[in-house]
Structure 1
Amino acid sequence: MREIATHFTKRDNGVYLFHDTVATLNKNEVVQNVINGLDNGLVVTGFGSVDGIVIQNCKVAILNSYGAAVGNLFVSNCPILVKGFSGSRTGKIYSATEPTTILQYTGNAGELGTTLEGFNFPKNPITTTASSNNIINLFTIPTRLAGRLSIQNNDGANMMSYLVDLSYNGTDLTTTDEIKVLGGAINIASLSVANGQLALTCNTSSSITLNLVLDFQGEFYQA
């Protein structure tokens, strides 16, 4: 594994994927690189495999310009996971830290949006209020959403394994609980959309600290 950009400035791009001074390639492969400390870690302009890349300490992990980045990517300390232009598609991203923005559309209004196929990241620790319905914002709801979301909390007896099939059409959220295992102080869990956020309502019999891990697989579409 090689680390890229140890000599770059913060304004630079890391890997400008599928592009050089001669031409833009339609298909390529970039694997097993470490991209560190840039504005845009990976810039995608075509189609290719990006498995095994680690992107860390970048303002934007992936800038996807009309391309398709297929594969699993690993990210740490990148506030924005993906910026995507019209029609771009990005594979699943595993982040070691909670992002500020999962997917940001940077194309023109009225054009096709950008799609992310999945993500996984831990939420920052959350302390609940005892015997109360705690409203926990999980992430900003995108323009459209369809897929499967897993929410887990592994803290001894205070456990949660909540697997939900869900869809959002821009107005209404539809959910089907597939698995709901709650234990210890956690006794209620449900999802809703409020103030532009997908929110978890969680009732706990005592005040506890939740260390939630989110995993989404499906179509996360932003326009």
Structure 2
Amino acid sequence: MRSPVVFDLDGVLVDSEPVWEEVRRAFVAEHGGTWREETQSRLMGMSTGEWSAYLAELGVRLPPEEIARGVVGQMAERYRHGVPLLPGAKEAVERLAAGRPLGLASSSPRALIDVVLEATGLGAFFGATVSTEEVAYGKPAPDGYLEAASRLGVDPSDCVAVEDSSNGLRSAHAAGMRVVAVPHPLYPPAPDALALAAGTAKTLEELTPDLVDSLPR
């Protein structure tokens, strides 16, 4: 069997990080908090419970549960008007789905994952999808990737992960997966995180079966 591939969602298949930043930044300002210079990079990869608690620490005067509902509701509304797939996302998934199982390990809440997969038609290609809501810890912990491998019925060490963020790269590497980095130009990963990748693709067009299968074990 060819190496199973486990995709991240935000920043890899969907150009959602700018949308997340816009929505959360506005929410923080509206509810009395203060956005910090490092906030966006810290939020990337956190589970819903983790980032909503972090926004409360920024001074948002609401319980984390209400913060999560408010932000996720606004994100879902944005997606209903169109999911911002990254160029080549659907084609990359289709290429890699031929002859190998695919999984998804996302920090997005389940509600948003399902909206994206249904709206884009990508759901048919994934044998397992995991939200970090469904595991103990979000990225950079390995929990989401380990759960995706478990649901696929494969060994994590046989898998290749596709990631863009620092926390995502650290998460997949900690799970024992080989990682292909596809850095987002607006949110590049930290050098030490990028160094964990076994391979790099500048764009999703470069994410080919040959690249995945050539990665050293």
TM > 0.5 between the two?
no
Please tell me whether Structure 1 or Structure 2 has the larger radius of gyration of its CA atoms. 1
Q: Which has the higher helix share?
A: 2
TM-score, normalised with respect to structure 1: 0.25
Q: Which has the higher strand share?
A: 1
Give the number of the structure with larger relative contact order, counting CA–CA contacts within 8 Å between residues 6 or more apart.
Answer: 2
TM-score, normalised with respect to structure 2: 0.25
